[in-house]
Amino acid sequence: MELWRQVFIHGMDIFNILIISYFLIGNGVYTLLMALSLATVWLYNRRMAYQDMDEIRESPVTPPVTIVIPAWNEEQMIVETTKSTLQTDYPELEVVVVDDGSNDGTLARLVEHFQLTKMDLIYRPQIPTRPVLGFYMNPELPNLLVVSKENGGKPDALNVGINICRTPYFCTLDSDSILEKDALLRLMRPVIHSPVNTVASGGIVRVMNGCQIRDGRVMKVALPKSSLERFQVVEYLRSFLFGRTGWDLLGGTLIVSGAFAVFHRETVMEAGGFAHDTVTEDMDLIIQLHHWAALHGRRIRMSFTSDPVCWTECPATLRMLGKQRRRWQLGLCQTLWKHSEMLFNRKYGIVGNFSFPFHLYVEALGAVVEFLGYFMVPLAIIFGMVPALLYLLFVLLSLAYGGLLSIGAVLLEELTYRRYPSYADLAKLLWFAFIENLGYRQLVLYYRFEGVVRFLTGSWHWEKVTHVGVTRQVS
C-alpha cells in the first residue's frame, strides 16, 4: 500500500511539474508574442501610410494569381464566395472552383448562376489526383473555371486546382469565405517586395457571423448575437493578430491558414503538393515547405500580413464547433508526428528549435496536460499534497492571465484596424475576452482533448463542418 502511495505521490509531483511548466512556457511565449505583435502591427500600420496599392494594381510586373476554391457540399455559400472572388481587385486574376464530388447542389448552383457550359478540356496532372469529371466555363467569363471531380478530400481538390492553374502564384480560399476587395493585393505585397522567394503568404481570417453581406461583400461589420460565436471572434483575433504575427516576426511560422493564403506554385509542386495523410493540409504543407527548403538548401520566406482580410463563417452550434476543433487538434497532432524529425533539429533553425517544440508541448500535448489538470490537481488537494488556497489562487491567476492575453488581442485590434465601430460592440468584445476563460476555454479544451484521443486511437477521419448561412444578407 505504501509503495502505491509513493508511486502516486511521485506521479503527482511529475504532473505538477508538467502543469507548471506548461503554464509558464505557454503564457511566457504568448506574452512574448503579444509584445512582439503589438510593436509589429503598430509599426506595420504606420508603414501603411506610404504603401500605395496602386503601385501593385497598375504595375505590369505584378504576377498573375489563380484563386483555387475547393468545395464539397457548399451549396449555401458557393455562389456568394465565387461572386466575391470574381470581384477581387487584382490586375490578372483567374478563379478555379473545384467541386470535390459534392452530392448536394454545389455544382448545379454554380452552373446556373454563372451560366456555365460543360466542356471537355485537357487536364494535365503533374500532381496525381482523383479523376476529373468535367470542366465548366462561360466564354463570357474567361477567368472563371469550375472543375468537377470525383470526391477525394480537400487536399486532392486543391491539387487539381494547382494542376490546372497556370500562374506563378495561387491563392487557396475556403468555399465558405468572402474576400475583401483589396485582400489579394495586400497579400501579394510582401511577395512582390521581398528580394527572397516568398513561398507562402497568409492573411487574417475574421468571423463573418453577424455581419451584413451584399453582393458578395461585407457591408457592415458587427458582432454575432450568440455568445458561442462572440467567443470565437475573440479567439480569432488572438490567434491571428498576435499569434501568427508574432511567429512571423520570429521566423517561426508553422501555420498559415489555408482558408486564405498565397503559395508559390512551382515550389509547392516541387514539395509534392497538398498531402492526403493529415486533416490539416495547410499546416502540413507549410512544414513540408520548410522541410523541402532545408533539404535542398534553398532560401525561402513565409510571411503573415495582418490586414488582408478574409471573412469566414464560424460554427454556430456546439456540435459544429466540436467537429472543427477536434479536426484541428487531430491535424496538429498528425502533422507534428509526421514531421517529428524536425524537433530540435538545428537544420530547421527557429522552426525546429523553438516553434515546433512549442506547438508540440503547448498546443498539442498541452491539451492533455491542461485537461487532466482539472482532475488531477483536485485529487492532489484531497490527498493533501497541494494546499487548497494555493490551488485556488493558481486557477485564478491562470484565468486572469488568459483574460489579459485575450484583452491584449482586442487592444491590438483597437490600435490598428478598429473593424468594430460601435462602442457597444467594443465593450462586448472586451467582456467576452475577459470571461473567455470561464467555460468557453474549458469547452474547447474538451474538444481538443478528444482530438488527441482520436489521434491516439487512429480515428483519423475528416469531420465536415456545415454552415447554415448565419450572416445577414442585404438585398
Q: Which residues bind another protein (CB under 8 A)?
A: 43, 46-47, 49-50, 52, 55, 59-62, 117-122, 124, 134, 137, 139-140, 142, 192-196, 387, 389-390, 393-394, 396-397, 400-401, 403-404, 407-408, 410-411, 414-415, 418, 423, 426, 430, 434
User: Hey, how many other C-beta atoms are within 10 angstroms of the C-beta on 134?
Assistant: 15
Q: Do β-strands 93-100 and 144-149 pair in parallel, antiparallel, or remain unpaired?
A: parallel
Residues 6+ apart with CB under 8 A from 355: 247, 250, 252, 253, 254
The residue among 1 and 122 lying less far from another protein, judged by its C-beta, is: 122
- Give phi and psi for 100, each to the nearest 5: -85, 60
Q: How far apart are CA 470 and CA 233, in angstroms?
A: 14
Helices vs strands, H then E, count in the chain: 17, 13
DSSP for 22-86? HHHHHHHHHHHHHHHHHHHHHHHHHHGGG--HHHHHH-TTSPPEEEEEEESS-TTTHHHHHHHHH
The residue among 372 and 404 lying less far from another protein, judged by its C-beta, is: 404
Q: How far apart are CA 91 and CA 362, in angstroms?
A: 42
Cell digits of residue 444 = 474547447
The SS3 call for residue 254 is: coil
User: Which contiguous run of DSSP H or E holds residue 212?
Assistant: strand 212-214
Q: How far is the CB of 388 from another protein (least distance, A)?
A: 11
The residue among 190 and 331 lying less far from another protein, judged by its C-beta, is: 190
The residue among 318 and 400 lying less far from another protein, judged by its C-beta, is: 400
The residue among 1 and 49 lying less far from another protein, judged by its C-beta, is: 49
The residue among 197 and 212 lying less far from another protein, judged by its C-beta, is: 197
The residue among 111 and 255 lying less far from another protein, judged by its C-beta, is: 111
Q: How far is the CB of 423 from another protein (least distance, A)?
A: 7
CA 393, 398, 402, 404 torsion: positive or negative? positive
Q: How far is the CB of 326 from another protein (least distance, A)?
A: 30
The residue among 27 and 466 lying less far from another protein, judged by its C-beta, is: 27
Cell digits of residue 196 = 527572397
Q: How far is the CB of 280 from another protein (least distance, A)?
A: 31
Q: How far is the CB of 50 from another protein (least distance, A)?
A: 4
The SS3 call for residue 437 is: coil
Q: How far is the CB of 9 from another protein (least distance, A)?
A: 16
What's the helix, strand, coil split of the chain in %, to 5?
55, 15, 30
DSSP for 121-176? -----SS--SPEEEEEE-TTSTTEEEEEE----HHHHHHHHHHH--SSEEEEE-TT
Amino acid at 195: P
Q: How far is the CB of 333 from another protein (least distance, A)?
A: 30
Q: How far is the CB of 414 from another protein (least distance, A)?
A: 5
The residue among 29 and 137 lying less far from another protein, judged by its C-beta, is: 137
Q: How far is the CB of 31 from another protein (least distance, A)?
A: 10
The residue among 114 and 328 lying less far from another protein, judged by its C-beta, is: 114
Residues 6+ apart with CB under 8 A from 429: 223, 230, 233, 234, 410, 413, 420
Q: How far is the CB of 428 from another protein (least distance, A)?
A: 12
